Amino acid sequence: MAQSDTASPFKLTVTEPEMWQRKIHVEIDPAHFEAEYGKNLRKARKGHARPGFRKGKVPMAMVEQDVGGTVRMDTLEELVPRAYQAAMVEHGFFPVGDPMLKDLAMNDGEPVTLDLEVEVRPVIEPRDYDDLPLTAREPELADDAVDEALQRLRESRAPWETADRPAASGDRVKVDIVPEDEAGEPDPARKTEGYQIQLGDENNFEAFETALTGAAAGDEVTAEVTYPDDHPSEALRGQSMTYRMTVLEVTEQVLPELDDAFASSLQEGQTLLELRAAVREELVREAEQKVDAAVREEIVDRLLERNPVEVPPSMLKDYLDGMVDEMRQRSAMYGRPVSDAELEQYREGSRDRAERTIKGMFVLEAVRKAESIEVRPEDVDERIAETAAENGWPLDQYREYVKRNREEERIGHELAEKRTFDFLKSRAQFRPAADAAAGD
């Protein structure tokens, strides 16, 4: 608990009920308050009018009788922000929202007293971040990883052609779908035309898979679907529906040969051997990124074990609001609106992860400040040039994109985060996975 300079018109007492909260008890010197009040009352008199008096000539006692209460509250509204600013400067906290005013007392001849409560960024003095015990990891690449990646490349370049045969797993089947009504008759008003289903997709209804596997163009099949109790549409939850489907077309992918011609179609002059090497290099890079991500997660876990921190509730709420908005936008983009119940379920399911993310951000920032890890504008410029080169983008155009979209701050933050993780890894004690598991 600390107090301000005696020359100040404010007597401030700041307490910390929570790591993320400050409570500021303010006493305003009565003489100072009355002096400010009198000054504001004289200003109010200049524009005040009353029958029988010219504007600005109303006796002060009458002015006070008419507008004194309003002017007194206006004076308070002027002084409270000054007191709050003095508390922030004097006690060095950083608010994450606006303060709430509580327990106001204004009695004649006594100091004006009030409490301000505000959520703040927790103040962290990071400790024990040297010699973090981390698990040694190596990038892993399965023996058939390159072959599987090449197969995916072939599939991505394979055209779809009509198959004059019954449908099998992997084929696309185009159908007209008509649901039956309660009497078991087709309901043409709810007909869906030209709907395409790829057999073998894990999201397909099992009844659709069964009915369409082995069906050929021109066939008519039926499928009875029982919707789960947690289906997004409340009207369908737990309901059974029968669908009549007419197969319009069966198509299959015709995979290109895996040879030099295929490799050259991806990059002119490239051989199959060079393509395999490029694919392997990319897979190794992805594996290294996974290892790096796992190490970062472990670093955050170890830091939070040694540096407990609390998250301001309003900051967690804002973070979750942003996640929910992103989910809503993504769903709308893919043509699948989500219900309020789904969004609330997503919010609650994301709460622990979001809280951990914010805690990790606080502790990493504290380490960065403690070790004076900085990112200069020229570092950001260098990273912009590297990104353009890595992706084959014209540098001037990418610079313009970064400027137009105000990406400099994001790039700077990513660089600062990387440097902080690199610093912590350089000080860590890496243990073989077996030893780490035994130690845990």
pLDDT, position 103:
93
Q: To the nearest whole percent, how much of the chain has pLDDT over 90?
A: 79
CATH of the domain at 50: 3.30.70.1050
Section 326-355 average pLDDT: 89
165 and 239 both lie in a single domain? yes
pLDDT, position 434:
65
Token output for 141 = 């690449």
Residue 78 covered by a domain:
yes
pLDDT, position 436:
57
Section 66-81 average pLDDT: 93
pLDDT, position 5:
43
Whether residue 26 has pLDDT greater than 70: yes
Token output for 144 = 């058939």
185 and 240 both lie in a single domain? yes
Section 112-134 average pLDDT: 94
**Domain of 28?**
10-119
Whether residue 292 has pLDDT greater than 50: yes
Token output for 176 = 């007209």
Per-residue DSSP letters for 214-257?
A: T--TT-EEEEEEE--TT-S-TTTTT-EEEEEEEEEEEEEE-PPP
Mean pLDDT score of the chain, rounded to an integer?
92
Which letter does DSSP use for residue 186 in this model? B
- How confident is residue 13, by pLDDT bands cut at 50, 70 and 90? very high
β partners of residue 196? 174
Residue 391 covered by a domain:
no
Query: Higher pLDDT residue, 34 or 336?
Result: 34
31-58: per-residue pLDDT in tens? 999 999 999 999 999 989 888 888 888 8
* Number of separate domains in the chain: 2
Section 71-83 average pLDDT: 94
Other CB atoms within 10 Å distance of the CB of residue 241: 14
**Which of 202, 225, 253 marks a domain boundary?**
253
175 and 108 both lie in a single domain? no
231-285: per-residue pLDDT in tens? 767 777 788 899 999 999 999 999 999 999 999 999 999 999 999 999 999 999 9
Give the span between the Cα atoms of 297 and 317, in whole angstroms. Answer: 23
113 and 23 both lie in a single domain? yes
- How confident is residue 28, by pLDDT bands cut at 50, 70 and 90? very high
Residue 264 covered by a domain:
no
| CA atoms within 13 A of residue 168's CA, in its CB half-sphere | 5
Give the span between the Cα atoms of 207 and 226, in whole angstroms. Answer: 9
Residue 168 covered by a domain:
yes
388-416: per-residue pLDDT in tens? 999 999 999 999 999 999 999 999 999 99
Nearest in space to 55 (alpha carbons), one of 63, 46, 64, 67: 46
**Mean pLDDT lowest for which of 1-15, 94-108, 184-198, 206-220?**
1-15
pLDDT, position 228:
83
CATH of the domain at 166: 3.10.50.40
177 and 248 both lie in a single domain? yes
| Whether the Cβ atoms of residue 194 and residue 248 lie closer than 8 Å to each other | yes
